[in-house]
Amino acid sequence: MPDWVKHAIWWQVYPLGFASAEAANEPGGDDGQPVTHRLGQLTAWLDYAVNLGVSGIALGPIFASQTHGYDTTDHYRIDPRLGDEQDFTALAEAAHARGLRVMLDGVFNHVGRGFPAFRRALEQGPAAPEASWFRLTWPPDWQPGTEPGYGTFEGHGALVALNHDEPAVADYVAGVMNHWLDAGADGWRLDAAYAVPAAFWAGVVPRVRAGRPGAYLVGEVIHGDYAEFVTASGLDSVTQYELWKAIWSGLNDHNLFELDHALGRHNRFLETFAPLTFVGNHDVTRLASRLEDDRHLAHALAVLLTVGGTPAIYYGDEQAFRGIKEERAGGDDEIRPAFPGGPDALAPTGWPVYRLHQDLIGLRRRHPWLHRAQTTMLHLENEQMIYRVAEGEQSLVVALSLEDQEVRAEVPGARETLAGPGTLAGAGGPGARVILPPHGWAVLS
């Protein structure tokens, strides 16, 4: 993993929604679609991101596609609803000038039906030069105009699965990744990486690292053995969905034993790699809508920003945006909203949550050793949790309470409250106790 990643905290943005782009390119594909220069709208928010405390911008899909960005039609072209390559270069330069890294979202498991190589296969049949790029099933009596069966992503006919056993596909993916790293990107989030054989990534990653050793490569993985996937694929990291689920579920159910179990598994992952951690992203119901008690949003954020890993904040979560993901056409729209022209247009009610994020992100950046830190449980009940997070000689203590009444608990040696409404009695001594108000929390040195 590149050394700079230990300091990384991402602000994840879904550009098509953020910039209020049309839901789809014109019928018949995006060839000839007029270019609308929306990508630059993000530039007006870079100072907002810097003030939030993050060190990088993780962009959702920005390449030419038919609809939501995950049905790519040209990986070498910026989606015309967002702009062109010059717009990307300008955004990357503006981000870098502020000390912000840029991570791109690459969809290499599947493409849209408008992907030119797939269109040629449909038109030319089995003899098409790129027919082997896809998992096609041709009828024995194929005639022009007869569509073959083809592999898809999770049954979605608009998402055509690539054939990752085809060497030309590996050549194409490595070429795309290197092109945009040379154009100003600092890393890649690899969408649906779990659906691609790890051996495919193991062949592509060295070709990317050869000339660009500082690139950060993280795969989207939801279930399974995360450490095994990282080891087999050669990627730097994968997404930590287990911890995401345990945070909100443990808080909602008043069952912090679930979170304890997830933190135990998280420790084991950290022995191999530093996971990409989050409490919200472009595919899930927003945290402020998921939590049943608004008072526990701070608890979720305190966990995210004190445990090991590389944290990401989903745009709008820092303002307590709400949004529910629904399993229907357009069901992601509410969680991928447009942002106004600038921060001054945001509702005043969200700024206290923004300041909470600032405080905890600032704490995280003052303790970069947390990137690979391990947690040890000191006290655990259904509605109370105190854990130590440590790396070498460095350590912090985090106390959480979901109780309706004040909680007092021993934290021997704790010296100071660094964040949260909790206070200390007997600071620095063997009998030090943390005092948490109802539904309170604290980060202690």
CATH number reported for the structural domain that contains residue 201 in this entry? 3.20.20.80
The rounded percent of the chain whose pLDDT value lies above 90 is: 96
Same domain as 75, residue 8:
yes
Is the Cβ–Cβ distance between 94 and 40 less than 8 Å?
no
Per-residue model confidence (pLDDT) at position 33: 79
- The number of folded domains in the chain is 2
pLDDT tens-place string over residues 280-330: 999 999 999 999 999 999 999 999 999 999 999 999 999 999 999 999 989
Give the residue carrying structure tokens 């008043």.
254
Cross-strand bridge partners of residue 376: 388
* DSSP β-ladder status, 384-391 and 394-401: antiparallel
Q: What is the C-alpha to C-alpha distance for residues 187 and 138, in angstroms, rounded to an integer?
A: 38
Q: What is the C-alpha to C-alpha distance for residues 332 and 329, in angstroms, rounded to an integer?
A: 8
Same domain as 317, residue 424:
no
Q: Which of 31, 120, 128 is nearest to 79 (CA)?
A: 31
Q: What is the C-alpha to C-alpha distance for residues 441 and 359, in angstroms, rounded to an integer?
A: 14
Domain stops at, among 341, 372, 403: 372
Same domain as 329, residue 290:
yes
What's the alpha-carbon Rg for the chain, to the nearest Å? 23
Q: What mean pLDDT is predicted for residues 416-436? A: 96
Same domain as 417, residue 323:
no
Same domain as 343, residue 421:
no
Per-residue model confidence (pLDDT) at position 291: 98
Domain range spanning residue 424? 374-444
What are the structure tokens assigned to 288, written together?
């402020």
Same domain as 378, residue 237:
no
pLDDT tens-place string over residues 342-356: 999 999 999 999 999
Three-state secondary structure of the chain: CCHHHHHCCEEEECHHHHCCCCCCCCCCCCCCCCCCCCHHHHHHHHHHHHHHCCCEEEECCCEEECCCCCCEEEEEEECCCCCCHHHHHHHHHHHHHCCCEEEEEEECCEEECCCHHHHHHHHHHHHCCCHHHECEECCCCCCCCCCCEECEECCEEEEEEECCCCHHHHHHHHHHHHHHHHCCCCEEEEECHHHCCHHHHHHHHHHHHCCCCCCEEEECCCCCCHHHHHHHHCCCEEECHHHHHHHHHHHHCCCHHHHHHHHHHHHHHHCCCCCEEECCCCCCCCHHHHCCCHHHHHHHHHHHCCCCCEEEEECCHHHCCCCCCCCCCCCCHHHCCCCCCCHHHCCHHHHHHHHHHHHHHHHHHHCHHHHHCEEEEEEEECCEEEEEEEECCEEEEEEEECCCCCEEEECCCCCCEEECCCEEECCCCCCCEEEECCCCEEEEC
Same domain as 236, residue 194:
yes
417: domain CATH number is 2.60.40.1180
Give 17's pLDDT tier (boundaries 50, 70, 90): very high
What are the structure tokens assigned to 403, written together?
């109780």
pTM of the model: 0.97
Cross-strand bridge partners of residue 63: 78
Same domain as 384, residue 344:
no
Same domain as 263, residue 311:
yes
pLDDT tens-place string over residues 389-403: 999 999 999 999 999
Length of the chain equals 445
Residue 441 scores a pLDDT above 70 = yes
Per-residue model confidence (pLDDT) at position 359: 98
Q: Residue 366 contacts by C-beta under 8 Å, 6 or more apart in sequence?
A: none
Q: What mean pLDDT is predicted for residues 40-52? A: 97
Domain stops at, among 345, 372, 399: 372
Give 94's pLDDT tier (boundaries 50, 70, 90): very high
Q: Average per-residue pLDDT in the chain?
A: 96
Rounded to 5 degrees, φ, ψ at 320 are 60, 35
Domain stops at, among 318, 347, 372: 372
Dmax over Cα atoms in the chain, in whole Å? 84
Q: What is the C-alpha to C-alpha distance for residues 316 and 18, in angstroms, rounded to an integer?
A: 10
- What amino acid is encoded at 173 in this protein? V
Q: What mean pLDDT is predicted for residues 367-377? A: 98
* DSSP β-ladder status, 10-13 and 310-314: parallel
Q: Which of 243, 224, 242, 244 is nearest to 232 (CA)?
A: 224
Same domain as 339, residue 382:
no
What are the structure tokens assigned to 433, written together?
């106790």
CB atoms within 10 A of CB 385: 25
Same domain as 327, residue 279:
yes
Same domain as 139, residue 61:
yes
